[in-house]
Structure 1
């Protein structure tokens, strides 16, 4: 992380009244405030399930979002790559997330986003509403596991649920013959275009030479 972004995070966290838990791979950060605790590993699921959890600052990965919404915790997201931008855009649209781009990260922009996230009751209510929706399942996770383990045992391994790809050759799974046909066809087309252009250029050069000789 560039120093300017780390400095913005540290200074903004130091201005908060709340306590902050921050995952960091080093033992010390210069200028860290007493209300911020760093650790190389944190039990994310347990922390999100804590009744005093107010906000989750995340990169917006799918699993992290699922854990946060399962516990009704709103998200302040700063996407980095892949599906994270899309995930957070959906969260902003549905009202349970706030997005802040890394390129715009400063102490003031982060404080503004934190103030909005921590004091916006609509954001918190939408996150809690998502928690109710996610947890409204016909069976508990323990009951689901018990049922499916019993199902597999009752039906002798349940081979009818086995994915067909498990019994296929690698060239069948990856459509090797299809890709080979596509590549060969494209190569032939490129080669044909190359031959045609070469013939045209030779004809043009021949006509110019003939004209000069005359």
Structure 2
């Protein structure tokens, strides 16, 4: 969001950011925007950190498991994740009620006469605010409270569109298609289970019983999709989906002097960068020691963002830092490999700079992201439960010395950059487009407002079948009647 806000600010737009009081990433004070802070329940930071720690522990307990142990590990992780999402939606639904019941706050929103609401629909607050203020709605989206965005508004044939978290490709065998169909139905039921009980009463209370909950969060004028087909598998789309994959990527800036000196000291071998994002600051001690041992065996230098206890067997080639300029280091010509958990931002930045990946998927969409890059030949994946110095070291050497990984990522990079308009410029254009025309209803399909019965023309098929059956029955009846008349006539003549 910050990248888009910076660009809107440069173009002279006034931006107001509504943020929860306990926000991990959104500063209250900024020259780019005016903030409105709304109260939120405490303990969110501790809650998310505890969740990540518990999920890591569960994954590591599954080292070399039997089939049934894998099933039990999967069930534990799924339950933990569901509980976490439920807590998120409980908090967000409470925030909506608090906002709407604050008359002064809502009056200030109405008096400001905003041109549009830009929101990430991963939580339902922004869509509800846009509906209450009666202003156009733009999504900055990949995930929504009801699942991956494409599956909600675009045709998604399960024969070649892999469902989220299946780690399948668009070329599926028959057993894989069975898995895909079952995963889709279970996944969509699960998403409704964790969100609907908490948002549906809010929709009913704030907007009335006649508002269709199932379409409430699908009514955005424009969906700015943080994805594109250099990463995604080809699939049907819709006219109000605007792809802006890699919009946050920019050419690298010079590194700080001390870091540049370290990078240059690597000579022809180059520097491996490792970071697991902002939420995972440390790993269990045993995993850390194995990673450090694998790094120590390489001739490359390593820059590792890590905030845990310093590994005892850390090699002289490894520099541990609390922070690193990820985009700039990725774009450095001496960076041959990126070790990452592979969140959405890391995916796009590695592709933009054409750097192959060694992936350590941990949570949420990370395994799915990595599986897509692996399918395109740009990533080696190491499961955290199976990681030791030998497995991790072999993965690093494969990405370093098998030239196909860099060639494939360089090709994806060229595809990403070869566009008539930069993704960020495209995103801002469509935001301003919605402002100019006070919406983009002419691009919205009616499909998401239809029931599955109507959408799939079940009623039409049933009616046509009824007509066919009626005509067939009528024809058969007439033939039988004529046959009886003829038969009676022959009998009478014979007598």
- With the length of structure 2 as denominator, give the TM-score of the two structures: 0.30
**Of 55, 59, 68, which aligns to 2:350?**
68
| Matching residue of 2:268 | none
Q: Measure how far apart 1:152 and its partner are.
A: 6.9
| Matching residue of 2:373 | 91
Change (3 A) 1:15 1:63: same
**Of 132, 138, 160, which aligns to 2:439?**
160
CA distance in 2, matches of 1:61, 1:39: 20
Q: 1:164-175, aligned counterparts within 5 Å?
A: none
CA distance in 2, matches of 1:141, 1:2: 38
Q: Measure how far apart 1:30 and its partner are.
A: 2.6
Residue 284 (structure 2) pairs with residue 5 (structure 1): no
3-state secondary structure, aligned to 2:439: helix
Gaps of 5+ in 1: 163-214
Q: 1:108-123, aligned counterparts within 5 Å?
A: 108-123=390-405
| Matching residue of 2:417 | 135
| Matching residue of 2:331 | 49
1:33-60 superposed Cα distances (whole Å, 9 cap, x missing partner): 1211111111111111111110011112
1:113-137 superposed Cα distances (whole Å, 9 cap, x missing partner): 1111100101110000000000111
The number of residue pairs the alignment matches comes to: 159
1:185-208 superposed Cα distances (whole Å, 9 cap, x missing partner): xxxxxxxxxxxxxxxxxxxxxxxx
Conserved? CA contact 2:289–2:311, under 8 Å:
no
Conserved? CA contact 1:69–1:131, under 8 Å:
yes
Change (3 A) 1:146 1:60: closer
Conserved? CA contact 1:25–1:40, under 8 Å:
yes
Q: Measure how far apart 1:144 and its partner are.
A: 4.6
- Indicate the larger mover: 105-114 or 136-145: 136-145
Gaps of 5+ in 2: 1-282, 442-495
CA distance in 2, matches of 1:151, 1:60: 33
3-state secondary structure, aligned to 1:160: coil
Structure holding more helix per residue: 1
Change (3 A) 1:140 1:87: closer
Conserved? CA contact 1:22–1:36, under 8 Å:
yes
